[in-house]
Amino acid sequence: MDEPTKQIVIPAGFRFAGVHCGLKRNPNKEDISLIVCDSPATAAGVYTTNKVFAAPVRWDRARTPSDKIRAVITNSGNANACTGPQGEKDCAEMAAIVAEQIGAAADEVLVMSTGIIGVHLPMEKIRHGIAAAAGQTGVEAPAFLEAARGILTTDNGIKIASRTAEIDGRTFKISGMCKGAGMIAPNMATMLGIVLTDAPLSTEQTQTLLRDVAEETFNCIRVDGHMSTNDTLLMLASGAEGGAPLTDSQVAQLRHELKAACEEMAKLIPADGEGATHLIKVDVEGCATREDAKKIAIEVADSPLVKTAITGGDPNWGRIVSAVGYAGVTFDPLKLELRLNDILLYQTGTPVKFDAKTVSHSIKGSFETHVQLTLFEGDASARIWASDLTVEYVKFNADYST
Amino acid sequence: MDEPTKQIVIPAGFRFAGVHCGLKRNPNKEDISLIVCDSPATAAGVYTTNKVFAAPVRWDRARTPSDKIRAVITNSGNANACTGPQGEKDCAEMAAIVAEQIGAAADEVLVMSTGIIGVHLPMEKIRHGIAAAAGQTGVEAPAFLEAARGILTTDNGIKIASRTAEIDGRTFKISGMCKGAGMIAPNMATMLGIVLTDAPLSTEQTQTLLRDVAEETFNCIRVDGHMSTNDTLLMLASGAEGGAPLTDSQVAQLRHELKAACEEMAKLIPADGEGATHLIKVDVEGCATREDAKKIAIEVADSPLVKTAITGGDPNWGRIVSAVGYAGVTFDPLKLELRLNDILLYQTGTPVKFDAKTVSHSIKGSFETHVQLTLFEGDASARIWASDLTVEYVKFNADYST
């Protein structure tokens, strides 16, 4: 596991602001987040595959990839989802207000929303909020942190990561922010994320980088398996580092640090999952294809019986092995091996003698639990990070009332 | 909803016994269940599709459909799953002991097991148990009830149903028993079921009837979405009613009552789901195919956010609509309609005004909650019954320790 970010680095070419405009009840909590690019940035997006998706997802999807993005505006507290034609209109107006404030076109502004579903945006508050944010953007860490707080809903704290890539004597900065505590929290929707760099990247490079890195990071986290209507991950490259466009080999090096930053952020989401007491790392190895490995890892990570076993510190290998069996993947059960926190529990179709107390203590003694499955069917692998399932999750989601 | 069975009818040609042999700690709880057929019965089976399956599943799968089944032996308290070659040997021995006791061949005996995974059967206890059961079989209700208790694990009570089919002046009896409270309960596996009739059916008729009826009943229930290693549903037709073989049209009439009996039993499983406070009936209508409808119903029924909303009596339509959206089915979100307990909540892509208190009271005031989704994409439909998700479910599965 990588060390958490010790220091925030701010990629050149971006300005930040976060303000409170009244979407959240607590006046000390930012609910508008604005990121402005000094010059047109290349931008890419990956979005929820939910057939029921929010207005801002439709807006951004139609405008990415792009080489002329000037801003990203995010509101928290209201998802602008299931809001019909009025929702589309409100989303377009959010972009238009930002555009007017910064001297750009509405088409050059991306929008994200997260919060309650099925309620129209209070546009009067949002108009004031955007104007206030546009008037106070900054390039230092405090402004970045305001913007990172402005996208949160039920999160317990900001989720950010930074990396620096030294490539052929040049220095590229990468920083990102994300949010999410349930795939859908109580009537609050969404995983949102933005990753920024000052590297000069083409539109195609930006889109390919984001798609590849998202598949291995943000697409590998599970809280409750319930896909949101608003999930959005954006990447903006300002090019403000100032040098020549990156070669393919330089992009590959940048990708390494980009993935590290996204992985660090992505893991923060299930770690902060509603009621979570464990972060479960599921590694599935030796599969015929990565798709097979991911299917198995997801079934294990989503099983409420596996999740509750880990909550209870119970090395209940039968629940894990049986979840592997119903993932829809062909494999030889007699070759399957299972390790939990590096201790062998299952091999050759039969249980292995192990000290249950030692395994139980290793689960109870650490926030992270490592489930390792090996199938010996090929070379492909996948890793999923997930929350466990606790009484607090159920209370949080059952006791809440709309 | 059908009325529960008022009276047990015992199909002719079968004898029953249930005894305690020491697999369960409580000496008052039967853990061996025996059903003997006076003459060879036609028999069919449907089984778990889990790649990791127990020894008795392998045994029965190889021996059904059949026209010569003489007995079904079931033990509860031990699943004989993940037990390797010794498990296969123990399963074969169970069949052989029964065969010896009743004067049949081992191949004419089907076997079911349910309980702890990965522990070898205590065969000495089982040998004594089978001998005792074989020595005390009866044809009346008390013997049937002993056998129905002998297959239970964490169930709160027996799960049985009976029907009588009057067809062309003849009377056919149908009775069944099943068990299950979690797809896998704490280290206890499985849904098991047996349905019996005295109708004279061919092997093919028996297999087709069971496969079709299972698809619409036992395959439409969800507790926690975790598929067991031992799921087995058997059907035996003794032919002891004594008349001529049934025509296709007579089989269709029998099917109606058979389905009613299986539906009544199947619903008892999620209704008795671990910690369940609601039975959720999810109806999805107006789909292009039944497969589409079932996919959507399963995603809604499996979503922990939908389950917990119903636990809390919260008419949180956003959670239901968003679960429809990620089922992998193509549809127009603007046409989707949602009713909860017959009250319209969502239509034309926007929320409908409704009295949240009325809906909440209707959820809280009844054990059964009805979720009705209409897609207007075609004529196919599906119905799923599911448990809600409660604090008690999590406690039960997290606090248990192997």
d(CA B297, CA B130): 42
Per cent of chain A over pLDDT 70 is 96
Predicted local distance difference test score (pLDDT) of residue A48: 87
The model's pLDDT over B289-319, given as tens digits with 9 standing for 90+, comes to: 999 999 999 999 999 889 999 999 999 898 8
B83: distance to nearest CA of chain A, Å? 5
Q: Which of B130, B135, B125 is nearest to B98 (CA)?
A: B130
Substitution target in B49, B88, B326 with the highest count of A β-carbons within 10 Å is B326
This model of the complex carries an ipTM of: 0.82
Residue with tokens 């169970």: B94
d(CA A247, CA B140): 83
The model's pLDDT over B141-150, given as tens digits with 9 standing for 90+, comes to: 999 999 999 9
Do residue B313 and residue A401 have CB atoms under 8 angstroms apart?
yes
In this structure, of A271-275, A382-386, B52-56, the range with the lowest mean pLDDT score is A271-275
φ and ψ of A173, to 5 deg: -105, 145
| Cis preceding linkage at A65, omega within 30 | yes
Do residue A225 and residue B348 have CB atoms under 8 angstroms apart?
no
Q: What is the mean pLDDT of residues A168-172?
A: 94
The rounded mean pLDDT for chain A is: 91
Residue with tokens 């979405």: B225
Predicted local distance difference test score (pLDDT) of residue A104: 97
Confidence tier at B48 by pLDDT (50, 70, 90): confident
Confidence tier at A5 by pLDDT (50, 70, 90): very low
Which H/E stretch holds residue A63? none
Q: Which residues pair with B386 in a beta bridge?
A: B222, B280
Confidence tier at A285 by pLDDT (50, 70, 90): very high
Q: What is the DSSP letter of B313?
A: T
Residue with tokens 């393919």: A248
Do residue A229 and residue B322 have CB atoms under 8 angstroms apart?
yes
Do residue A402 and residue B50 have CB atoms under 8 angstroms apart?
no
CB < 8 Å to B304, chain A: 224-226, 304, 389, 393-394, 397
DSSP secondary structure, B206-226, as one string: HHHHHHHHHHHTGGGEESSS-
Substitution target in A377, A389, A397, A400 with the highest count of B β-carbons within 10 Å is A397
From the CB of residue B35, how many other CB atoms can be counted at a distance below 10 Å?
28
For residues B234 and B194, the answer to whether their CB atoms sit within 8 Å is yes
d(CA A274, CA A276): 5
Catalytic center residues of A:
190
| Residue ranges of domains in chain A, CATH in brackets | 14-271 (3.60.70.12), 279-399 (3.10.20.340)
d(CA B72, CA A389): 38
Confidence tier at B51 by pLDDT (50, 70, 90): confident
Predicted local distance difference test score (pLDDT) of residue A154: 82
d(CA A278, CA A268): 12
| Cis preceding linkage at A40, omega within 30 | no
Predicted local distance difference test score (pLDDT) of residue A6: 55
Residue type, B123: M
Residue with tokens 């409750």: A224
Annotated binding site of A for substrate: 153, 179, 190, 274, 397, 402
Predicted local distance difference test score (pLDDT) of residue A67: 95
Q: Inform me whether the pLDDT recorded for B1 exceeds 90.
A: no
d(CA A349, CA A286): 16
Q: Is B179 annotated as contributing to ligand binding? A: yes
Confidence tier at A401 by pLDDT (50, 70, 90): low
Residue with tokens 């919060």: A115
CB < 8 Å to B308, chain A: 393-394, 397-398
Q: Which two tokens stand for residue A46?
A: 């990956």
Do residue A313 and residue B401 have CB atoms under 8 angstroms apart?
yes
Per cent of chain B over pLDDT 70 is 96
Which H/E stretch holds residue B218? none
CB < 8 Å to B394, chain A: 304, 308, 311, 389-391, 393-394
Q: Are strands B380-387 and B221-222 parallel, antiparallel or unpaired?
A: parallel
CB < 8 Å to A355, chain B: none
DSSP secondary structure, B16-56, as one string: EEEE--SSSSSTTS--EEEEEEEEEEEEEEEE---SS--HH
Q: What is the mean pLDDT of residues A77-93?
A: 94
The residues, any chain, with a CB within 8 Å of residue A39's CB and separated by 6 or more, are A13, A238, A239, A240
In this structure, of A24-33, B235-244, B389-398, the range with the lowest mean pLDDT score is B389-398
Q: Which of B351, B266, B286 is nearest to B316 (CA)?
A: B351
d(CA A387, CA A379): 27
Predicted local distance difference test score (pLDDT) of residue B245: 95
From the CB of residue A353, how many other CB atoms can be counted at a distance below 10 Å?
6
